[in-house]
Chains A and B, each alone.
Chain A
Amino acid sequence: MNKYRMCMIPAYPLENVQLLKDRVIFPYVCFRTFGESLRLVTKSTGDYPYLSYLEGAELVALPEEQPHMEAAVHYVTEHVDEIDLLFLFGARGEYMELTHIYKSLRPDGIIYLKLDINIDWANTLPLFHKPFSDFLHSCDIISCEGRRLQSLLYKKWQRHIEYIPNGVYYPLYPEAADVRFEEKENMILTVGRLGDIQKNSLLLLYAYALAFPNLKEPWELVMVGSVTPEFQTDYEDFCNRYPPLAPHVHLTGNITDKQRLYQYYRRAKIFALPSRGEGGSPNVFSEAAIFGCTVLTTGVDAAPDMTDNGRVGRISSDIEDFEGFAKELSALCCDPAYLARNFHEIRTYIKEFFDYERLASRLRMLVELQALKRRPS
């Protein structure tokens, strides 16, 4: 098996917290799977304590005096011979010069671009701007995070785009290994920036109120995440309007302690994702799924992928339909047999199709294909 010297360059300087997000984790798993080395090239934004989770990866701090991308271009020019596989994250114009330089100096090198876009963003990309279209053209492998988006991009860009979802790196979640359905409680969990327009938290709050009279057993609604002042007001209005429900709705605030967050995933039977839009499947979805939570989501781009087209979760198609979301929520709460069965189904599904180690193995084959394509027949 070929071993590659890998380099990941973000469009903007990396923050510590991003070291454990898909932009870095996936290149890292690729490095563990088929890499000789991995360099994360960025201007420093402070300390990087999470680097300790990424054994073997090297963080290269770019000089402070230059803008990030200018310094990155300079770095690539100087070290191009040490980069066989270049990881890029985001369909961003900032990469235009970088890719041009890399491909000019290393025509045999491979560029992998993880798009990290949703359909709305895809529709705003300047495809008729030649330097931008050249940038996309210079990427040997491009992947997107949702099948619906993939179909759209095939029609729009007329080039091959791989489907590689945001996945899970299991070694970061040892707590998920021994979770049991019997430990779970009648808890509906959501995690996100509460009150953020995109997260649409109000939909869940009122859908819960609509579903509540239909529930045969008491169910708690736990909402984890930072709270905007507007949502705090909405929550207080809600409690005043529905006093019997107030004791069942819990706002925990932001939880930075991962162990404490995982305890909620362990206890919850249902994970609710009332978003208006997501770029692929969000990290909170895969975290919930590996803990065996059945997912109820609005019809975001990646909803069919997250639920295997509704098999291991439920989709309320209309992102603004309170009653539709409430109906799906009460149906799930009243079907304990499905929740118990789906605890195993969703965990298996995630393991099979969202495990970053398996996705990295597939990417390795795609990288090898590039070499095979270039081989004279």
Chain B
Amino acid sequence: MKIEITDTRITLKDSSESFSILEKPVFPNFHHNVTKRPYISTYYEAGETIWGHCQGGLELLADFCHEDPYFGCYALLFRRLYPLLLSSSQAKNVIAYGQPANCGAYKVFQNFMTFLQEGNALTALAQSSFSFQVLSEQSCHAFLYCLDTHPALSAVCDALRKIRPGGLFLLYTLQDAPPAQLIPLCEKGERDCLGPCTVYAFTVDEALSAFACANSSENLIFSRAEEILKRAGDLQNLIPAMLAGASLSEEVYSIAALILQQTEEILLSIYDYLENDALPVLTNALKEAVLNYYVGVSGQYEITTYREKLTQSSEAFFSAVNAEFIKES
């Protein structure tokens, strides 16, 4: 993949395909330039114009990143970012997530942004979804998100919530198709694609904000907590029945074990947010105790110890679930 720069056009090329990144504006649209900087040189040839800086910036991008697999994505991102940055002289706050802070593309973007307006800021976040938590809601004008770094719907929605109404959300990836859980979102965006590089662009509006809110990690945690409590409720019926010595079929024990395994999986899906990170292993210990108890009952072994272990494990599990998700006042 390479960038071809002429006096009037900047094009991204990949073997036989090409994608137009920018065209030099013509005079009739000159009044669209609401930034302090001129699009193109007017009376005098002195001083650098936006167009000239674009050309230089994309040359630099090619120098810095031609071996980076995301090179094409960066060029496509620049294309989408450009109109937003030129939309006014108001300082813009752009957040980038997914590449290391010393990524060459970030330097090029920041350089161009500073040229347009000294107060423009591009902030590169650490490669952890926790880094979103330091950002205020609706605080940035654009968010560049590398989908391959953290392809989870909840994280993507957390990022979306940080963008101001009318702001720009750019998802980029080297994958042909987004993960299944992200397809409904990606279908709402505009798709730019060349070779292996794809960018999905979204303008944040009410509908998108509502979607992000419903699928954010905060909401995910609430809904997962509900699922866990529902399962804990089911177990609170099943386990006392086992301990009471009721004659139960193997299926009952299997169902209890399945509920516990599902609980483990749900807990692991929100593992980063758990206060008690031993909860999944406590759940596994209860599953083990249920299965051991069944092995004892079905094998007609002495079950006193199995009963004790089941009692202890269930007490530990329920107490930990209560402490994590209910919390006494």
Contact surface of A with B, Cβ cutoff 8 Å: 150-151, 154-155, 158-163, 348-349, 352-353, 358, 361-362, 365-366, 368-369, 372-373
A362 to B284: give the CA distance in the assembly, Å. Answer: 13
A151:B281 contact, CB within 8 angstroms: yes
Known A151-B281, A154-B284: A362·B261 in contact at CB below 8 Å? no
Known A150-B284, A151-B278: A358·B305 in contact at CB below 8 Å? no
Known A361-B299, A369-B258: A155·B288 in contact at CB below 8 Å? no
Residues of A within 8 A of B268 (CB): 154, 158-160
> B292 at interface (Cβ–Cβ under 8 A)?
yes
> B271 at interface (Cβ–Cβ under 8 A)?
yes
Residues of B within 8 A of A358 (CB): 292, 295-296, 299, 301
Known A352-B306, A366-B291: A154·B257 in contact at CB below 8 Å? no
* Chain B residues bordering chain A, tally (CB within 8 A): 27
Number of A-B residue pairs having CB atoms within 8 Å of each other in the complex:
62
Within 8 A of A (CB), among B212-240: none
Residues of A within 8 A of B280 (CB): 154, 160
What would 6 more interface pairs be, CB under 8 Å, given A154-B278, A160-B261, A163-B285? A349-B305, A352-B296, A352-B302, A362-B292, A366-B291, A369-B258
CB-based nearest B residue for A375 = B258
What distance in Å separates the Cβ of A144 from its nearest Cβ neighbour in chain B? 11
A131 to B86: give the CA distance in the assembly, Å. Answer: 45
> B200 at interface (Cβ–Cβ under 8 A)?
no
A369:B254 contact, CB within 8 angstroms: yes
A120 to B285: give the CA distance in the assembly, Å. Answer: 23
Residues of A within 8 A of B253 (CB): 365
Residues of B within 8 A of A362 (CB): 288, 291-292, 295
What distance in Å separates the Cβ of A298 from its nearest Cβ neighbour in chain B? 24
What distance in Å separates the Cβ of B16 from its nearest Cβ neighbour in chain A? 30
Known A352-B306, A362-B295, A369-B254: A158·B281 in contact at CB below 8 Å? no
CB-based nearest B residue for A1 = B250
A293 to B258: give the CA distance in the assembly, Å. Answer: 38
> B294 at interface (Cβ–Cβ under 8 A)?
yes
A369 to B256: give the CA distance in the assembly, Å. Answer: 10
A372:B305 contact, CB within 8 angstroms: no
A154:B281 contact, CB within 8 angstroms: yes
What distance in Å separates the Cβ of A120 from its nearest Cβ neighbour in chain B? 20
A151 to B305: give the CA distance in the assembly, Å. Answer: 23
Residues of A within 8 A of B281 (CB): 150-151, 154
A150 to B264: give the CA distance in the assembly, Å. Answer: 14
**A-B pairs with beta carbons under 8 Å apart, 13 shown:** A151-B278, A160-B265, A160-B268, A161-B284, A162-B288, A163-B284, A348-B305, A352-B301, A361-B299, A365-B253, A366-B257, A369-B258, A373-B261
